[in-house]
Amino acid sequence: MKLLFKLRGFVFFSLLILFFSTCKKNPVDGKLLLPDGFSSAVVVDSISETVRHMAVNDDHVIYAKLRNSTEKGVAIALKDTNGDVKADEIERFGKGQKSRWSYATAMRIYNGYLYYSSDLVVYRQKLISGSLLPEGEVEVVVTDDHEHGKHEHIGKPIAFDNKGHIYVPFGAPSNACQSPKRTPGAPGLDPCPQLDNHGGVWRFDANKLGQTQKDGYKYATGIRSLVAMNWNPVDEELYAVVHGRDDLLRLWPNLYTPQESALLPSEEFIKVTEGSNFGWPYCYYDQVKGKKVLAPEYGGDGDVIGRCAEFDDPIIGFPGHWAPNDLLFYQGDQFPERYKNGAFIAFHGSTNRAPYPQSGYVVGFVPFIDGKFSEEYEIFADGFAEVDPIINTKDAAHRPMGLAVGPDGALYISDSVRGKIWKVSYDGKKEDFNENQLIAMEKRKKASNVRTPDIIKDNLMKNDAVGGEKLYYQYCSACHQTNGKGASGRFPPLVNTDWVTGDSNRLIQVLLKGMEGSLEVNGEVYNGVMPQHSFLKDQEIAQILTYIRSNFGNSASEISAEQVSESRKKIEENKENNGPIKVSTK
């Protein structure tokens, strides 16, 4: 009997050990929607500073650029040491550096160095095999030395060719080179002087330190804003996916419908060859009509091509405002042959698709067939947002941001909302992969975050909206969202802030003059540009401001048309101080 109890005890503890050992090696399901045969696992569930681009070295260390730097550093290193996918060794680095805004982006490995960027500077540090963190002093490779008090699109993604060059974009400091900037009906400057030092990609020596733009070579132009950019080692060319311009409806309500403004202009997947010109600010690509058309600031009407025939076209025109934020060419061996050399694109997701549901929030894929990229795209990964439809940007649980491939061929995806990182692997036999395994993802194109919105059925604007509510939907909700909660890092909330419920005259001036700079609200810094709305009538401004001061949980006094009129007169009388209100967290 004693022997039987001992045997039972031995078996029980053996099973217990086996159970915990199995649990330890079982990765946490990432719950992403993927083609059949693929699975996702969670590397880390949350990083408080959130992350942007990533890189993975031969030791399986993940390096991620932090969106918000702290005294602990501007980047983070993560490693799984026990084989369960989850990172159990985590350490921040890059102390003493700080981004001026929250557009810190790049993280790439090149020639034994880890290169990463703030919004204005590209740095590098030496990587040592077997070491979690890069070693040695932080070296400055390229500095954006322009004045940035009024600047937009300052992210510094980077790419390296096979000849010792690093490519760095200098984004355009405006939406469409208008004068006055972002003013309804204002013409565009022609020629646009911003193209001299912005709106393009510059090439530098990847191994030279202390460079500024004058040390580089303008490689391509006519590109408004880039965050997704990479070098393709197969055809040895630079590629990028462009952030298209905004505000078609707000700036030109006589030319564009709300649906057109939600869909257009395209986010262009482009092949950036030396000397190429993609036509910003004079033109934009309309993926619905399949052509590059003249922008309204330069005499366009949404259809005429004119001078745009002379500029380069994209490979694919993705839907507008999907926010392409990383581009990766798959060189691994773990995935089926279909994915070899193809392009994965992380679409961060829209903020300004009102009055329709937000769109994007996916990782797309473009196959590379017979030496060139397909003109059709696929949805590779979805389910990041965890809600359908995505009405307001902050409704999304996660937003895909960065992409990287490990030495085992697995794909890593980062998130900018919580700082989550997934590892995507293929579990089946590569030779058995076929078109049937793509059917479920092809159906994802009918989801509200991907499909072309129905003009009537998908319109989120209330049919009975009038007065300030209707005006808010038309002029404000694209940025501040229908719930007034804004979009992280870009557009501040109208909820629980003294900017809305406090000084009414200051609030009136924000609409009449606009605002720019770094604004901190409830502990978060926002860097979007608030355009002036002086084109609105006094009564319309009063209605909008009264609406936001009495909604979204706010309870403040109404604002009258007479108050707006008085404030407008004071601005006109004081012509030396009628520019946008400048704010700063410094």
User: From start to end of 150-225, where are the E strands?
Assistant: 159-160, 165-170, 200-205, 211-212, 217-221
Q: Which of 491, 489, 340, 337 is nearest to 401 (CA)?
A: 489
DSSP tag of 187: P
Residue 102 is part of a domain; what is its CATH number?
2.120.10.30
Q: Please, is 224 exposed, middle or buried when counting C-beta atoms within 10 Å of its C-beta (0-12, 13-18, 19+)? A: buried
Q: Which of 65, 24, 111 is nearest to 326 (CA)?
A: 65
Q: Is residue 509 part of a domain?
A: yes
Q: Is the backbone of residue 177 left (phi > 0), alpha (psi -120 to 50) or beta?
A: left
**Does one domain contain both 395 and 530?**
no
Q: Is residue 27 part of a domain?
A: no
Q: Does the N-terminal peptide bond of residue 389 adopt cis geometry, omega within 30 degrees of 0?
A: yes
**Does one domain contain both 565 and 422?**
no
Q: pLDDT (tens digit, 0 to 9) for every residue of the chain, 586 residues total?
A: 454 444 455 444 444 444 444 445 678 999 999 999 999 999 999 999 999 999 999 999 999 999 888 888 999 999 999 999 999 999 999 987 766 666 779 999 999 999 999 989 999 999 999 999 999 889 999 999 987 655 578 889 999 999 999 999 999 999 999 988 778 889 999 999 999 999 999 999 999 999 999 999 999 999 999 999 999 999 999 999 999 999 898 889 899 988 899 999 999 999 999 999 999 999 999 999 999 999 999 999 999 999 999 999 999 999 999 999 999 999 999 999 999 999 999 999 999 898 899 999 999 999 999 999 999 999 999 999 999 999 999 999 999 999 999 999 999 999 999 999 999 999 999 999 999 999 999 999 999 999 999 988 998 876 667 888 888 877 888 788 888 888 877 788 999 898 888 888 889 888 888 887 778 888 777 877 787 888 888 888 889 898 899 888 888 888 898 888 998 888 888 765 667 777 766 5
Q: Is residue 26 part of a domain?
A: no
Domain containing 68 equals 38-446
CA torsion, points 179, 510, 50, 400, in degrees to nearest 10? Answer: -50
> 291 CB contacts (<8 Å, ≥6 apart)?
285, 305, 308
Q: Is residue 461 part of a domain?
A: no
- Dist CA 510 CA 506 (whole Å): 6
**Does one domain contain both 395 and 482?**
no
What tokens appear for 22 in the block?
A: 């199995």
Q: Which of 164, 153, 332 is nearest to 228 (CA)?
A: 153
Kindly report the backbone phi and psi dihedral angles of residue 271, in degrees, each rounded to the nearest multiple of 5, phi listed first.
-95, 115
Indicate the pTM of the whole model: 0.88
Q: Is residue 18 part of a domain?
A: no
**Does one domain contain both 275 and 387?**
yes
**Does one domain contain both 434 and 304?**
yes
**Does one domain contain both 310 and 380?**
yes
C-beta separation of 528 from 479 below 8 A? yes
Q: Is residue 458 part of a domain?
A: no
